[in-house]
Structure 1
């Protein structure tokens, strides 16, 4: 009897141990908090990736001279950096571009082949627009002629001015030098919408009246075509448009007093041999927009960090690296 009781007690004890063991297995299932913890690394990774990707649009207008440089930078930015950001680059001309930039909800950047004027600064102040100037490259004002023009390949600065000046006394090539052809000169250039015109008129011509027959055009491509079809034409515009059309144009080597100087990336510099016809070109940033829209600030940083790389490719001389770094520091400070 005692043996039976002992065996029964032993059997019950074994069953209790088995049940306890099964219950212990159920208790090892993850709690809700544990499930969130295991998924957290995946969520963190997704958030980190998303923070590097921007969306939206950036609008750039202004100088036709700066257009090839800014368009090349914008294309690379959209391809390699931020494919979901649309950067629209147009070329209304420097002055017309400032008209689109200095208005409520205006463009984000205005490219310019001259510095902002005092009256434009006043407009910005009235509208509460914080404007920041950035040099983007150095350009050489270049006088171009037809490839068959083999007589005016070297001219002095004074001779060039006499061609375009109303009181220059020049109508025919032979009026410049007797050995030149007895043919009327057809002077051309960009119109008043362009900073290139203003640089030429204000700095080179010192605001002398231009000849009545000067042909001023809005589009640089039109000027290229006109000169390429007319052996008696001569036009002025930025070095980049000459470089990209060397198969159709020749460039005048300019004598500033020490012999003819060819415009090229070595001579175009503020302290170089082509210095009298060298000028900086700019882009102007609406700082308000850069603070409000991450894509605008991000593009601005891409521009200043990469502009020297693209300058030579588009016919501009690069800026000193220390000047570029100052721009980078300013933009980093806006973050």
Structure 2
């Protein structure tokens, strides 16, 4: 573990004195200067920021990291998709990661695990997602499914064939592709759609691109993942409209529907920096940059998620300042 990862501050000065001595650093973070400005004004900030967690949150965090490093070339930000639960359990709560992305709120047992290691997670709601259920483009028998039908496919007592769910569907074995059990997407779907359970008869992975490939190559396949992965691969898979119950209208996954709350599988996305890591300048500045840009248009246009609104930005910024003793 590097000195930066172990929780040491950059130098011995306070954050306020550090920012005063570095002059243009704060202005660069706010204004988004050119690379030349970054080289001239941000060279004093250095270190490493380690981000783990949700594969759903990964595209946002990874893009934030790339943009941040363009402005602060002496800071190395690594982002790895380990799953929400996998990130908390194996990296963040043991103190080996500074930030954990999550597609569901932290669990009480995870908070206890963090507390055992003197890690204090700070919850920040940073985006919204439309969890997407998809099938092969060759699937011509289903366009909309209810929560009950989804639970018959994905619940603990899962149907074996499509015809077991609906007699008008093919009498062919269902091939399932989904997130690993360490995933927050798995947790959210199990709790909110399946009623708490989840079949073990599926191919689980933390690589959502593997799910895309599985559906692309399987006429009788079905799988689910964050909307960003669907928006990148609309020509490779077919999204299924969703309704909560049989009497409801079918809703298509979209950013607008997620933002309005009209899509049944809309959900919040989070990042959890630790209070201890925020005492290090490079971590504080990365999270500050993340929050300042969390309502940017490119999050919807380039990544495919619903950006933060200004109230969320303000609330998260207040949490950041409180955690850092501002």
Cα shift at 1:261: 0.5
Aligned partner of 1:75 among 63, 66, 85? 66
How far, CA to CA, are the matches of 1:178 and 1:47 in structure 2?
69
The aligned residue for residue 36 of structure 1 is none
- Spell out, residue by residue over 1:40-94, the C-alpha distance to the aligned partner (whole angstroms, 9 max, x if none): xxxxxx9646874411111101111111111011111111x21211111111111
How far, CA to CA, are the matches of 1:110 and 1:302 in structure 2?
16
Cα shift at 1:247: 1.4
Instruction: Give unpaired runs (5+ residues) of structure 1.
Output: 1-45
Q: Would you say the 8 A contact 2:58–2:80 is kept in 1?
A: yes
1:47/1:69 CA distance change after superposition, 3 Å: closer
The answer as to 2:61 corresponding to 1:61 is: no
1:249/1:114 CA distance change after superposition, 3 Å: same
How far, CA to CA, are the matches of 1:52 and 1:255 in structure 2?
50
How far, CA to CA, are the matches of 1:52 and 1:326 in structure 2?
27
The aligned residue for residue 246 of structure 1 is 234
The aligned residue for residue 279 of structure 1 is 267
1:119/1:48 CA distance change after superposition, 3 Å: same
How far, CA to CA, are the matches of 2:207 and 2:97 in structure 1?
21
Name the one with the larger helix percent: 1
What TM-score do you get using the length of structure 1 for normalisation?
0.79
Q: Would you say the 8 A contact 2:22–2:42 is kept in 1?
A: no
The answer as to 2:123 corresponding to 1:133 is: yes
What TM-score do you get using the length of structure 2 for normalisation?
0.81
1:283/1:247 CA distance change after superposition, 3 Å: same
How far, CA to CA, are the matches of 2:22 and 2:230 in structure 1?
48
The aligned residue for residue 292 of structure 2 is 305
Instruction: Let me know the Cα RMSD of the aligned residues.
Output: 2.1
